[in-house]
Structure 1
Amino acid sequence: FFFANDQRILFGSSHAEQRDCPPKPDPSKGYVWRLDPYDMYTARPDGSELRRLTSYGVYTAEGVVSPDGRKVVFTSLKDGDLDIYTMNVDGSDLRKLTSTPGYDGGPWWSPDGTKIVYRAWHPVGDSLVAYRELLAQRLVRPNKMELWLMNADGSDQHQITHLGGANFGPSWTPDGRRLIFSSNYKQPRSGNFDLFLVNLDGTGLEQVTTHESFDGFPMFSPDGRKLVWASNRHDAKPGETNLFIADWVP
């Protein structure tokens, strides 16, 4: 993630804990995400002046810099569950924002820095037991997620979408009035994800893409004139993901 002045980048890396590329998850466990031991770093775009911000040795990633360039919001397993935290860009003033059992992740600042959107799944009963069993193996099954919203200090946490399936990768329209995200709610057992817009109160759902493949991780250019996202469309081999960019006409 680039800082506003393009002089530094923020990223997560597991290189301090494991030099080799991690193996793919065991297919017998179904579709799961690995939670490898990432930590947060900043560096110049050419890779120089590397600075380590966290040293937790567990999954700590999904970092985004605040619009004023002073804070980072990120996801970490540091306290035993997948929760959202903020810190200063030098790693100081760590604050935990979420604490409900389950997966809270993918946080993204609003354009004015006052709110954070994120994805969450808060299982109960047998589902919570199964979630924790996978978590102990450093795995998570991301097939049930909805969009949530909170203030930048962690207050007023509330659910936005109630679509079913996996709803994730949210970011904001440049005016801060709507969210764009990826969802497979129309075919929740499939890998057919499309991009959607939604108002902050969950109304006004609008489909943006209609391709029979994966479209995800959407983000607008700073001037709001372009939309960039990742997609499996036109893949040379199954599962190949590329970046796509399109003009945006509100």
Structure 2
Amino acid sequence: MKARILLLPVLVAMMLFNACKKDDQQGPGGDNGSYNYGPGAIFIKQGTEGITKIDMSTGELSLVMKNWLDAGWDISWDGKKGVKQVDVSYDETKYIIFNTGDGSTLKEVSYEPADNHGGLPCISPDGTKLALRPTLREGLVILDMAGNVLKSIAGYGADHTFEYLDPINWAPDGSILFKKNSSLYRTSVDFSRAFKIKDIPFADWKGDAVASPDGQKIAMSLNGHIWLMNADGSDLHQVTQSSQQEVAPSFSPDSRYIAMKANSRAGVPGSGTTAPHLCLIPADGQVYKVYPGEDNRVIHPTVKGASPDSRGLGVAIVGDFVWR
């Protein structure tokens, strides 16, 4: 009897420890009005509007940057800084680095492009460089935060030239992912060379590919759905299913989830306009049906205080977004 009494507190302690451990490993949910969708924030720019952000731990929506006309923007990987592109004149572009907390300007990076405007900016993982998407007259351009051109690359190899608006995306090690012919490539960290990751046998693939912050996975939109593979190009497979299209994957800061634009439907039932809606899936390689009600593992984030969509859809996204 004494032995059983002594064991009871030990068992209770173990149960409490395991319960806490299980809670620590739980991912985004948002059930029961908690609005807890995971770490960081999702930043959204809709057309010529400014940048807003959804705090993924609270569901609260706030304004980061007021409206401006130019399209180029990005958010640093730590979520603390952003960049917006302002085309000052025919031969001058400014990249305004701002604080995402209050929208204040931290610095202005001036660039005189060979084209009439500079390329769309992407902030490097360490926050020290800007990669500019190719324009009509320039290929891949790398700037430091003083506006100095570190690299201007027309293409990689005799059989490759960057084309207008070819997608580029940073990987966490400071290399860049890009499309060459029908294959996904990665540059070296000094941008002097490029290496093939994998042939991508889909005609609709334009070159978009995003790396997870932990460097383990790459996600792409192929054949109208999201596909996932290991960083070395192995195990490429489809991870979303629907009667519509899923595009623009973006990993969560902890690499555990993928956000995307999906479920294109009327913003308001019965209206004549349509828009894709935000949804999240685990980045575990399993296959998920993304329409509301088809798979309870799929999350459809909403804004705290907003009227819920009667169909269970997440936030409508007309423009671009990133999860930081």
Scaled by the length of structure 1, what TM-score is found? 0.60
What secondary structure, in the 3-state scheme, does the structure 2 residue paired with 1:73 have? Answer: strand
Q: Residues 212 and 150 from structure 1, CA distance in 2 versus in 1: closer, same or farther, beyond 3 angstroms?
A: closer
What secondary structure, in the 3-state scheme, does the structure 1 residue paired with 2:123 have? Answer: coil
Runs of 4+ in structure 1 displaced over 6 angstroms? none
Letter in 2 for 1:198: I
Q: In the alignment, what sits opposite 1:103?
A: 204
Q: In the alignment, what sits opposite 1:119?
A: 221
The offset of 1:13, in angstroms, is 2.2
Q: Distance in 2 between matches of 1:93 and 1:212?
A: 38
Q: In the alignment, what sits opposite 1:207?
A: 300
Q: Distance in 1 between matches of 2:192 and 2:165?
A: 12
- CA-to-aligned-CA distance 1:79-138 (integer Å, 9 cap, x gap): 2x4x422221314033152331322332111121011011111xxxxxxxxxxxxxxxxx
Q: In the alignment, what sits opposite 2:12?
A: none
Q: Distance in 2 between matches of 1:197 and 1:4?
A: 23
Q: Percent identity?
A: 23
What secondary structure, in the 3-state scheme, does the structure 2 residue paired with 1:106 have? Answer: coil
Q: Distance in 2 between matches of 1:180 and 1:44?
A: 29
Letter in 2 for 1:102: A
Mapped contact 1:53–1:91 kept (Cα < 8 A): no
Q: In the alignment, what sits opposite 1:65?
A: 170
| Unaligned segments of structure 2, at least 5 residues | 1-121, 156-160, 267-271, 289-296, 303-312
Q: Distance in 1 between matches of 2:235 and 2:315?
A: 36
The correspondence of residues 1-250 of structure 1 with structure 2, limited to 5 A, is 1-16=122-137, 39-55=139-155, 56-59=161-164, 61-69=166-174, 71-74=175-178, 76=179, 78-79=180-181, 81=182, 83-89=183-189, 90-104=191-205, 105-121=207-223, 145-186=224-265, 191-200=274-283, 201-203=286-288, 204-209=297-302, 214-221=317-324
Mapped contact 1:67–1:111 kept (Cα < 8 A): yes
- CA-to-aligned-CA distance 1:157-176 (integer Å, 9 cap, x gap): 00011113221111111221
Letter in 2 for 1:220: W
Q: Residues 91 and 118 from structure 1, CA distance in 2 versus in 1: closer, same or farther, beyond 3 angstroms?
A: farther
Letter in 1 for 2:239: I
Letter in 2 for 1:97: K
Please report the RMSD computed on the Cα atoms of aligned residues, expressed in angstroms.
2.6
Greater C-alpha Rg? 2
Q: Residues 42 and 150 from structure 1, CA distance in 2 versus in 1: closer, same or farther, beyond 3 angstroms?
A: same
- CA-to-aligned-CA distance 1:201-250 (integer Å, 9 cap, x gap): 234221124588544533223xxxxxxxxxxxxxxxxxxxxxxxxxxxxx
Number of residue pairs matched? 171
Q: Distance in 2 between matches of 1:174 and 1:42?
A: 24
Q: Distance in 2 between matches of 1:195 and 1:170?
A: 10
Mapped contact 2:133–2:166 kept (Cα < 8 A): yes
